[in-house]
Amino acid sequence: MSTIDRLWPLEGAEPWDAPGLVTGDPDAPVERVLLAVDAVGSTVDEAIEAHADLLITHHPLLLRGVTTIAEDRYKGALLARLIRARCALLAAHTNADVVERGTSAVLAGRLGLLDARPIVPGADPALGLGRVGRLAEPTTLGRLARRLAEILPATATGVRASGEFDAPVETVAVCGGAGDSLLGDPAVRAADVYVTADLRHHPASEAREQALLGGGPALIDVSHWASEWLWLDEAAAQLRAEHPDLEVRVSELRTDPWDFQVVQ
């Protein structure tokens, strides 16, 4: 837990967030760790079957308040199974988004963005939400969308784009996870394209109309889970470097909630 707090300090989390230890004894020994984006039935099964002592997820299981952890509710059932298996659960959420090797930084790195900086910098200018940078070689919106489809794990919803297929792209803003709250940020507005997840109809429509009227980025919408899954390998590498004797694994299970799509 000391290492985790050094890598992803809790003070970097958003005020509404709930990172940290969810269940488990802080004094219990840890030999095996599994990393996943979500604490769901399949990843809890995986952790228990692997005899993991700690499951680290990006998304907190108890982000919103609950009044019961009875086992006829899925959160209660998951917690009970983890406790019986002596597997702790810890979340690193927005505190892992803002660091130099966080979720958006990893996505920016996989796209090869140069001079990447936070969209919303913190007290330390190197830290903050999202990243914006420039491509080594200009491309088009269509080619960038295809590149993302190659980089990200496959999901039913794939990669969606708003803008002309051949529109030139050089400056790219990215935000892993749900990022429509940053659509109006000046750094996003100045980019050629904004890559994020969970773009809702009205914010996306308004951003598109504003771009047509007075300039603004094209939009690329990807899977929330996929946009953050890339970070797990980086997190695992950091943990292995700090604790060489630990067995650290990354879950390959797809926990994106959508199973298929019918394209019209």
Average pLDDT of the residues of the chain: 97
**Architecture of the CATH domain 2-96+227-250:** 3-Layer(aba) Sandwich (3.40)
Percent of the chain with pLDDT over 90: 98
In this predicted structure, the answer to whether residue 150 has a pLDDT above a threshold of 90 is: yes
State whether CATH 3.40.1390.30 applies to domain 97-225: yes
Give per-residue pLDDT as tens, 72-89.
999 999 999 999 999 999
Distance (Å, whole) CA 215 – CA 207: 10
In this predicted structure, the answer to whether residue 171 has a pLDDT above a threshold of 90 is: yes
Q: Are strands 131-140 and 114-117 parallel, antiparallel or unpaired?
A: antiparallel
The per-residue pLDDT for 183 is 97
Give per-residue pLDDT as tens, 235-263.
999 999 999 999 999 999 999 999 999 99
Least confident of 24-28, 211-215, 228-232: 211-215
Distance (Å, whole) CA 68 – CA 50: 28
Residues of the chain with CATH 3.40.1390.30: 2-96+227-250, 97-225
The per-residue pLDDT for 262 is 96
Distance (Å, whole) CA 239 – CA 54: 12
Give per-residue pLDDT as tens, 11-67.
999 999 999 999 999 999 999 999 999 999 999 999 999 999 999 999 999 999 899
